[in-house]
Amino acid sequence: KEKVEITKAQRALMKVIVDAYNRHKIPQDVAKKLLQDQYSAEENFLLLTEMATSQVQVLVEFTKNIPGFLSLNHEDQIALLKGSAVEAMFLRSAQVFSQKMPNGHTEVLEERIRKSGISEEFMTPMFNFYKSIGELHMIEEEQALLTAITILTPDRPFVKDQQAVERLQEPMLEVLRKLCVLQHPQEPQYFARLLGRLTELRTLNHYHAEMLTSWRMNDHKFTPLLCEIWDVQ
Residues that bind ligand 9NG (CB under 6 A): 25-26, 31, 45, 48-49, 51-52, 89-90, 93-94, 96-97, 109, 113, 116, 118, 126, 129-130, 208, 211
Residue 45: CB minimum distance to ligand 9NG, A: 5
Q: For residue 64, which amino acid is it?
A: K
Closer to ligand 9NG by Cβ: residue 43 or 174: 43
Closer to ligand 9NG by Cβ: residue 106 or 162: 106
Closer to ligand 9NG by Cβ: residue 97 or 191: 97
3-state secondary structure of 227: helix
Residue 72: CB minimum distance to ligand 9NG, A: 26
- Cα 89 to Cα 55: distance, rounded to the nearest angstrom: 6
Residue 80: CB minimum distance to ligand 9NG, A: 19
Closer to ligand 9NG by Cβ: residue 66 or 94: 94
Residue 156: CB minimum distance to ligand 9NG, A: 18
Going from the C-alpha of 115 to that of each of 95, 111, 167, 212, the distances in angstroms are 21, 6, 43, 16
3-state secondary structure of 218: coil
Residue 89: CB minimum distance to ligand 9NG, A: 6
Q: In sequence order, which residues have a C-beta less than 8 Å from that of residue 93 and are 6 or more positions away?
A: 55, 130
Residue 136: CB minimum distance to ligand 9NG, A: 13
- Cα 186 to Cα 161: distance, rounded to the nearest angstrom: 38
Closer to ligand 9NG by Cβ: residue 90 or 190: 90
- Answer whether 80's CB lies under 8 Å from 92's CB: no
- Cα 106 to Cα 97: distance, rounded to the nearest angstrom: 7
Closer to ligand 9NG by Cβ: residue 132 or 162: 132
Give me the sign of the Cα torsion angle 12, 16, 17, 23: positive
